[in-house]
Amino acid sequence: MGKMDNLGEHNRHCPVARTAALVGDTYILLILRDLSDGPRRFGDLERSVEASPRTLTSRLRQMEAEGIIVRHVFAEIPPRVEYELTTKGRALAPIVESLRQFGETWLLDDGQSQTR
């Protein structure tokens, strides 16, 4: 059962609301940003997303359950685990891009971006 099932009757059939339930989380958006550049190991994501292992694991499991990432385990010693976007996950790239464009225009922390 995913977060979409938590939507009320008015929102359950709305495409914006269904996607918002899927990606309406800061950590999930950061994981999508990182995986849009290619597969990543758990430790790489941990450093880049700056989340605790517990938080990162919960988000990766949600994303795997929703079919937007896959987990690959390579039979090495020690085992190597990588996460990769599925085709469905790669279709979220325009959302990450729209976040980037807004941030570049409105949220730069150099005191030069607009504030209203």
Q: Which is nearer to its own copies, 18 or 82 (CB)?
A: 18
Q: Which part of the chain contacts its own copies (CB under 8 A), choosing from 37-45, 57-65, 71-79, 81-89?
A: 81-89
Element (H, E) at 69: strand 69-74
Beta bridge partners of 83: 40, 71
Interface with its own copies includes 25 (CB under 8 A)?
Answer: yes
Judged on CB neighbours under 10 Å (0-12, 13-18, 19+), 39 is: middle
Kindly give the pairing relationship between strand 69-74 and strand 80-85.
antiparallel
Q: Identify the residue among 10, 38, 54, 111 touching its own copies (CB under 8 A).
A: 10
Q: Which part of the chain contacts its own copies (CB under 8 A), choosing from 37-45, 52-60, 71-79, 96-104?
A: 96-104
